[in-house]
Amino acid sequence: MKELKEKAKSKMEKSINVMLSEFASIRAGRANPNVLDKVKVDYYGSPTPVNQMAAVSVAEARVLVITPWDKSTLKSIEKAIQASDIGINPQNDGQVIRLTFPQLTEDRRKEIVKEVKKGGEDTKVAIRSIRRDAMEKIKAKKKNSEITEDEQKDGEEAIQKMTDKFCKEVDEHVAEKEKEILSI
C-alpha cells in the first residue's frame, strides 16, 4: 500500500514539474533564458540545445545575450532561433547574439494568462487521472483480499488528501505566474 502511495505522489510531483518547466518557457516580456530551452541547433549533425553551445545571460531586463563558445556556430544558432516559435528576431553582431524582448500589450498578457490557466487545468486533470489509477489499484487489492476494508478506506483517503494538496499547489503556481505576467 505504501509503495502505491509513493508512486502516485511521485507521478503527481512530476506533473507539477512539467507544468513549471512549461511556465518557465513562457515569454512574459522579460528576458528569461528558459525561453531557449526548446531551441535545438544543428551542431555537426545532431540537435543540440543552445545552452550547451553558448553562455546565455540576461544583459538588461528585456535583453538576452547569447555568447557561443565556438564563434563558427553563431549563424546556426541564429537560424535555429529564427526557426523556433519564440517570435523574437535575433541580432547578430559577429561576436554575440542579442534577443530583445518587446514590451507585452495588454491583450497579449491576457492571452498568456489564458495559456497559463489552461496549463494549470491540464496538470490538475493529469493529477486526478493519477488519483483514479491509484484508487482502482486499491479497489483491486481489496477485491483480491490483499487488504482489509479499513485499509482500503485509509488508502483512498490518503490518495484524496494528496490529490487535494497537489491541486492546491497547482492553483498557487498558476496564481503566481498570472500575477507575474500582469504586473510587468
Which residue positions in the chain have pLDDT lower than 70?
Answer: 27-29, 184
Mention the CATH class of domain 2-24+105-182.
Answer: mainly alpha
Residue 73, pLDDT score: 86
Residue 15, pLDDT score: 93
C-alpha cell at 13: 510531483
Question: Which residues of the chain form CATH 1.10.132.20?
Answer: 2-24+105-182
73 CB neighbour count, 10 Å cutoff: 19
Question: Which residues of the chain form CATH 3.30.1360.40?
Answer: 33-100
Task: Report the C-alpha dihedral over residues 45, 51, 54, 59, rounded to 10 degrees.
Answer: 150
pTM of the model: 0.69
Q: Which residues pair with 58 in a beta bridge?
A: 64
One-letter amino acid at 83 equals A
**CATH number belonging to domain 33-100:** 3.30.1360.40
Report the alpha-carbon distance of residue 48 to residue 63 in Å, rounded.
23
pLDDT tens profile 108-161: 788 889 989 999 999 999 999 999 999 999 999 888 888 888 999 999 999 999
Chain-centroid distance, C-alpha 49:
16
Residue 29, pLDDT score: 64
Q: Which residues pair with 100 in a beta bridge?
A: 63
**Can you list the alpha helix ranges (DSSP code H) found in the chain?**
2-24, 74-83, 106-143, 149-182
Report the alpha-carbon distance of residue 53 to residue 36 in Å, rounded.
12
